[in-house]
Amino acid sequence: MSAGAQDDGAQDAGAQDAGAPLADVVAPRPVVAHERVAAGRIFDLVRDVVDLGDGEQVTREYLDHPGAVAVVALDDAGRVLLLRQYRHPVRSELWEVPAGLLDVAGEAAQAAAARELHEEADLVADRWDVLVDFATSPGATNEALRVFLARGLRPVAEAERHTRTEEEAGIEVRWVPLDEAVGRVLSGDLHNPSAVVGVLAAHAAAAGGWASLRPADAPWPYRRGTLPP
């Protein structure tokens, strides 16, 4: 490749960098019609007719989901807490991080995460930070998921522990060095999205001296009820 061609490539890259910021933006299109196709116990199947502009309208069906939180619990030895739980839709026992639905009206996300850590792992944490946010499957559902980093861990008193039922009754708990958990993700041994995203995010944040962490009450524009209708 000639030096001139290299210069042209650099100029093209610079032109791309001058475009829109590399950050997701809430930019709703008008919803012309909305209906609930089917009601579920946790989420509904809904159908929207969306105006994309220039006279083009499309129909989109998706799961209307309350959202969820997950917790990467990291102990003083650098180990992450993983739980094994049966997940029927994929007919598998998956290793996961503590997680749960945002199904209590008005509950702060961090409070929900603390509740899940208490109920699923018998732990409380003295320090909470936002590790990462993601949309689980934005082409199919509006589910937004926030992953917290919990540190300064302490066990829940025996008398205050939650009685787990259904799939949670068989939860197996294991503490895994963070580096090993990363290796399990990359080798294809772990598949739960909260665990995959949370473990990799924790590893990256640790490598950066935790500078990327956000306050536990950091803005979350994609949580349901925050987005425009």
Domains delineated in the chain? 25-64 (no CATH), 68-215 (3.90.79.10)
Confidence check: pLDDT of 168 > 70: no
Q: Which of 93, 168, 172, 180 is catalytic?
A: 168
- Amino acid 129: pLDDT: 98
pLDDT bucket at 171, cuts 50 / 70 / 90:
confident
pLDDT at 110: 97
The reported pLDDT for the residue numbered 19 is 77
Q: For 81, phi and psi rounded to 5 degrees? A: -85, 125
Q: Does 5 have pLDDT greater than 90?
A: no
Say yes or no to pLDDT of 186 above 90. Answer: yes
Report the share of the chain in percent with pLDDT over 70.
Answer: 88
- Decide if pLDDT at 3 tops 80: no
Tens-place pLDDT, residues 83-120: 999 999 999 999 999 999 998 888 999 999 999 999 99
Tens-place pLDDT, residues 68-81: 999 999 999 999 99
Cα angle, residue 97 at apex, residues 173 and 141 outer, rounded to 5°: 145
Higher pLDDT pick, 187 / 9 = 187
Let me know if 116 is a catalytic residue: no
Torsion of CA 41, 63, 202, 123, to 10 degrees: -10
Output the CA torsion 205→109→180→196 (10° steps).
-90
